[in-house]
Amino acid sequence: MRVLFTVSDWPTHYFPMVPLGWALQAAGHEVRVACAPSQARTLERAGLTPVPVLGDLDMVFLTRFKNLTDIKAGTWRYPGLPGLHPDTGEEMASLDGFDFAAYARECKRRIADETGKGLAGVLEFARAWRPDLVVHDRLSMEGVFAARALGVPHVAHLWGPVGTEEDDPELHPLPVDYTRAFPRHGLPEMGPDLVEYVIDPCPADLAPPTRATRLPVRYVPYNGPGAMAPWALRPPARPRVCVLWSNSVSRSYGTASYLVPRVVGALAGQDLDIVLPVHPDDVAALGELPGNVRVVEQFPLHLLLPTCDAIVHHGGAGCVMTAAAAGVPQLALTFGPEQDADGARLAATGAGRHVTGDRAAPDVIRSAVAALLSDPSHRAAAARLRAQNASRPAPDRLVPVLEHLASTGRLPAPAAPPASSAPAAPPASSAPAASPASSAPAASPASSAPAAPPAPPASAASPASSTPAAPPAPSAAHTDPPSAAA
């Protein structure tokens, strides 16, 4: 089977897809990743094969342009922060004297050009390579376009707690207008049924809203390559708090949105070990640090969190999901609509706290971290997220489902119950439930909180059996509860 991934121009959007790519390759399938040229090296380091045919639409540029548009319209969420020039990143205290209308027309032309380039590039490659299935991230509509042009199935892969059916229009998965490109190639215009299947890696308590059929999968953290430091394996003598901030936040919202110095200052004097995994570009911005702070560069988060008691971060989905998988309580200090939604859904689980970045005063930060470390309810809720994630099927268990979808255009049918003339066994002697590693994924249509995958019947092959288990089947439909981010 040939599987084409298409990804947007931000590594944390496609990092959750990397373990599925590995699983497909380990099963003998071919995987190619259509991407922007700027993402090719990152994908190579992840062990996947990039095909750099998409347009180079820098997500930071798009965010800055959107922020200026909001400032001009009077809908800017953070009046205390200046907008940034989309090209230079220069702070713009005022738009007076700036011909925003002319600049906006130029930006939209550039966006349209890059979009057209990406659609043409992915279509040319797809027609030559002939994939059997397309898997795309939530924003990469090039994958939908290529799949529909070729008449092959396509599946969206979520990267975190934001889904395909959000109430907030700023979270809708169409950041660029692709509408005219579809009819130009003889395809129906995009609509609410654009995504039919969704690979959802979220624990049940974090599940986002979608009307698509869910394919549940375990979130297996991939935060980039890196070496393991021996000190990170040793439990600390006092509580360890990780403080992590994406440099994309300050690049999008300005230096005032870089809250690491404020967090460190708020925790100064506390009996804590503080670990700062930072991008090399951000080291200079840290200034002088207390003696209980350890700075580590390019240290993958999933290697650090097992010995941490709490984490403070910017609300990015990669942080939320990696900490959830590790069972670590979280404080999300957020800028931006997606991060706000991530933080709100995290707080609703009880596994963390959420404060918007413009309200994150030192005393608020100090109080929130103290609560994470002292309130057992946060630890219990974080452990529940970890258990929910561990109970979901690993990526390799999703491979047979995708094989069936690629070959038939539909999901596997429900398996018939095993025939038996013997009466049901009493509960005390019933077969044990399948372990998390062996549970098979069950599709869950239109549910915002998918059920844990069912255990196989007692007659199913055990892991040691040479007979492979039958592919999983869709479960009954559910309805979405109201969005937790509302």
Radius of gyration of the chain (CA): 23
In this structure, are 237 and 370 located in the same domain?
yes
In this structure, are 307 and 340 located in the same domain?
yes
Query: At 482, phi and psi to the nearest 5?
Result: -60, 150
In this structure, are 295 and 372 located in the same domain?
yes
In a domain, 96, yes or no: no
pLDDT of residue 179: 63
Could you give the CA distance from residue 80 to residue 76 in angstroms, rounded to a whole number? 10
Sign of CA dihedral 362, 367, 373, 377: negative
Could you give the CA distance from residue 369 to residue 263 in angstroms, rounded to a whole number? 10
Q: How many helices (H) and strands (E) does the chain have?
A: 15, 16
pLDDT of residue 416: 61
Sign of CA dihedral 449, 33, 342, 311: positive
Q: List the CATH number of the domain containing 296.
A: 3.40.50.2000
In a domain, 80, yes or no: no
**Terminal-residue alpha carbon distance, the chain:** 41
**Boundary of a domain, candidates 389, 409, 439:** 389
In a domain, 415, yes or no: no
In this structure, are 252 and 188 located in the same domain?
no
pLDDT of residue 223: 92
In this structure, are 316 and 385 located in the same domain?
yes
Query: Which amino acid type is present at position 2?
Result: R
Give the long-range contacts of residues 170-176, CB within 8 A, separation 24 or more: 170/337, 171/337, 171/338, 171/341, 171/485, 173/138, 173/139, 173/141, 174/141, 175/62, 175/139, 176/57, 176/111, 176/115, 176/141
pLDDT of residue 192: 58
pTM of the entire predicted model: 0.84
DSSP characters for 45-76? HTT--EE--S----HHHHHHHHHHHHHHHT--
Decide if 141 contacts 116 (C-beta within 8 A): no
3-state secondary structure of 25: helix
Instruction: Name residue 137's beta-bridge partners.
Output: 157
In a domain, 432, yes or no: no
Which residues of the chain have a pLDDT value below 70? Answer: 173-180, 189-192, 414-486
In this structure, are 191 and 252 located in the same domain?
no
Query: At 463, phi and psi to the nearest 5?
Result: -55, -30
**Boundary of a domain, candidates 372, 389, 406:** 389
3-state secondary structure of 80: coil
pLDDT tens profile 262-287: 999 999 989 999 999 988 877 887 88
Could you give the CA distance from residue 8 to residue 137 in angstroms, rounded to a whole number? 7
In this structure, are 329 and 362 located in the same domain?
yes
In a domain, 186, yes or no: yes
In this structure, are 129 and 37 located in the same domain?
yes
pLDDT of residue 243: 97
In this structure, are 275 and 373 located in the same domain?
yes
pLDDT tens profile 29-40: 999 999 999 999
In this structure, are 323 and 383 located in the same domain?
yes
pLDDT of residue 79: 87
**Boundary of a domain, candidates 354, 389, 424:** 389
In a domain, 441, yes or no: no
| Structural domain of 365 | 231-389
Could you give the CA distance from residue 110 to residue 80 in angstroms, rounded to a whole number? 29
In this structure, are 10 and 134 located in the same domain?
yes
Query: Which amino acid type is present at position 110?
Result: R
In this structure, are 292 and 202 located in the same domain?
no
In a domain, 78, yes or no: no
In a domain, 345, yes or no: yes
Q: How many domains are contained in the chain?
A: 2
Q: What angle do CA 250, 334, 294 make, to 5 degrees?
A: 65
pLDDT tens profile 414-466: 666 555 544 444 444 333 344 344 444 555 544 444 444 444 333 333 333 33
